[in-house]
Amino acid sequence: MMRCMETRVIEVDLLDDCRAVYKEAAAVLAEGGLVALPTETVYGLGADAFNTEAVAQVFAVKERPAFDPLICHLAHAKGLKDIANVPAELQALVDKLAHEFWPGPMTLVLPRRECVPDIVTSGLPTVACRVPSHEVMRGVVRALGHPIAAPSANRFGHISPTSAGAVMKELGGRIPMVLDAGACAEGLESTILAPCIDEKGNPAVRLLREGPITREKLRGICRVIRPGKNKAVDAAAAPTAPGQLKSHYAPAKKLVLHNPREPFEPEEGVTYGLITYQGDSPLASQDCWAEVMPLSPGSGRLAEAAVRLFAVMRAMDEHEEVQVIVAEELPETGLGCAMMDRLRRAAANRDE
C-alpha cells in the first residue's frame, strides 16, 4: 500500500513574485521528493529527472508500469542539447518546430543523451522533451537547475488533472506538495511528435499523440505522418507512446460515445449522464438523462470544450446518480481530433 503523508497545497498567484515558492518546490525536488506542478496542458507530477530514485517514486505513486517513459520539462529550448542529441539532418526541422511552438504544448521525441537515466526513458534510445509555457513549471525547473521529469499527475490510466483539486483527488496523501495555480489553459496533454526522415529522405514528424498543436497548425511546417499510415516509417521508428494504449484517460464509470444526430436508446433501469458538445444539443431534450453537461455551453467552441473536457468527465464520474456516461461525438477537426482520441480511449473496454 502507498505510504500516507500530508500533502501541502501552496497557492501560487502569478501576479506576485513567486521566486520563494519556486525555491521551496525546487528544494523538495532536490531532496528527491515529488511535487505536482501546473502546466498549460495538465498538472504534472514532477521529479528531478537526474535523480533515479525520485523518478522511481513517480512510477510507484502513479502505479504506472515501468515501460511507459516520462517527458522531461525544460525551462528553455537551449536546454534541449543537454538531454538530446539532435541528428544533423533533423536540426533545421527541430529548430523550426521549437521556434514555432516552444514554449508551449509540444513534446519532441529525440535521441537521448547518456546523462538521461534509463528509468526516465524506460530504456528507450529516445527522450521526450518539452518546454512548457506555464511560468510555474518553468520557474521551478530554473530554480532546480535540472530538467523535471513529469507525467500527468493522475493514477495510471485515469483522467489527467486540470486543476489542483483534481490532483488532490488522484494523489492527495501520496506526495508532499502541490503548487496550485488554478485551472490549466489548454486542458489536453501536449502533442507528441517524433521528428524523422521519411521514405523519400525528407524531414517529417510522426504524430505519436494528438494534442493542442493540431495537424492544421503543423501543416505548412512539415509533413505529418500518422502512425499506422506508413508501415515502412513505423517499422523503422522507436516504440509508439504508451499514452496510445487503447484504454487510457478513463473514468471509473462506463463511458459510451454517441452520434448526436441519432436518438439515444436507453436501457431499462440504467441512469445516464450526457456530455454534449454545445448548449443546444437535440440529444439533451430526451428525458432519459440524470444530468446533462455541455462542454461549450454556447454554440460550441472547440478550444472551450478542450479546456473543460477532463473536468466534465470527472464531474460525471463523481455524480451520485449517473451510472453510465454518454458522450457526444465531436467534430474531428482541429482540437476535436485530440478530444475524440481521449474520448475513444475513455470508452475502450479495459479488458481488451
Segment near Mg ion (CB under 5 A); pick from 75-83, 106-114, 151-159, 301-309: 151-159
Q: State which residue, 38 or 336, has the beta carbon closest to ligand TXA.
A: 38
Among 34, 74, 94, 150, binds ligand TXA (CB under 6 A): 150
Smallest distance from Mg ion to CB 64, Å: 8
Instruction: Reduce the secondary structure of 189-213 to three states and give it as a string.
Output: CCEEEEEEECCCCCEEEEEEECCCC
Site membership for ligand TXA, residue 36 (CB under 6 A): no
Per CB under 6 A, 258 contacts ligand TXA: no
Q: Which cell numbers hold the place of 40?
A: 498549460
Contact by Cβ (8 Å): 151, 46: no
107 scored as a contact of ligand TXA (CB under 6 A)? yes
If one counts every other C-beta atom within 10 angstroms of the C-beta of residue 222, the result is 19
Q: Is residue 190 a contact point for Mg ion (CB under 5 A)?
A: no
**Radius of gyration (Cα) for the chain, nearest Å?**
20
69 binds ligand TXA (CB under 6 A): yes
- Side-by-side strand order, sheet with 272-278: 254-258, 324-328, 272-278, 289-296
**Shortest separation between residue 40's beta carbon and ligand TXA, angstroms:** 8
196 forms part of the interface with ligand TXA (CB under 6 A): no
Interacting residues of 333 by C-beta distance below 8 A, sequence separation 6+: 216, 302
CA dist 275 and 264 (Å) reads: 13
Q: How far is the CB of 247 from ligand TXA (least distance, A)?
A: 13
Asked if 54 and 47 touch (Cβ cutoff 8 Å), the reply is: yes
Q: Is 106 in the site for ligand TXA (CB under 6 A)?
A: no
- Name which of 282, 343, 277, 328 is nearest 305 in CA terms: 277
Cα angle value 252/312/296 (rounded, 5°): 150
Closest to Mg ion by CB, 112 vs 209, is: 209
162 binds ligand TXA (CB under 6 A): no
Assess 330 for contact with ligand TXA (CB under 6 A): no
Least Cβ distance, residue 191 to Mg ion (angstroms): 14
Report DSSP state, residue 152: B
Give me the DSSP letters along 237-265: SPPPPGGGSSS-S--SSEEEEE-TTS---
Among 241, 335, 338, 343, binds ligand TXA (CB under 6 A): 241
Which of these segments, 15-23, 26-34, 124-132, 275-283, binds ligand TXA (CB under 6 A)? Answer: 124-132
Nearer to ligand TXA, 180 or 189 (CB): 189
Does 109 contact ligand TXA by CB under 6 A?
Answer: yes
Q: Which is nearer to ligand TXA, 212 or 260 (CB)?
A: 212
Q: Does position 98 bind ligand TXA by CB under 6 A?
A: no
Binder of Mg ion out of 39, 152, 162, 191 (CB under 5 A): 152
- Does 41 sit near Mg ion (CB under 5 A)? no
192 belongs to the binding site for ligand TXA (CB under 6 A): yes
Question: What is the nearest approach in angstroms of ligand TXA to the Cβ of residue 297?
Answer: 25
From the list 50, 94, 102, 126, which residue makes contact with ligand TXA (rule: CB under 6 A)?
126
Handedness of CA 107, 347, 153, 136 (dihedral sign): positive
CA distance 106 to 275: 27
86 binds, among ligand TXA, Mg ion, none (CB under 5 to 8 A by kind): none
Count Cβ atoms below 10 Å from residue 84 Cβ, excluding itself.
22
Residue 276 in contact with ligand TXA, rule: CB under 6 A? no
Nearest to 107 by CA among 53, 188, 26, 14: 188
Which one, of 296, 104, 248, lies nearest residue 184 by Cα? 104
Q: For cell 473536468, what's the residue?
A: 311
What cell does 317 get?
Answer: 464520474
> What does the binding site for ligand TXA look like in residue numbers (CB under 6 A)?
39, 41-42, 44, 68-71, 105, 107, 109, 121, 124, 126-128, 130, 150-152, 189-190, 192, 208, 238, 241-243
> What does the binding site for Mg ion look like in residue numbers (CB under 5 A)?
152
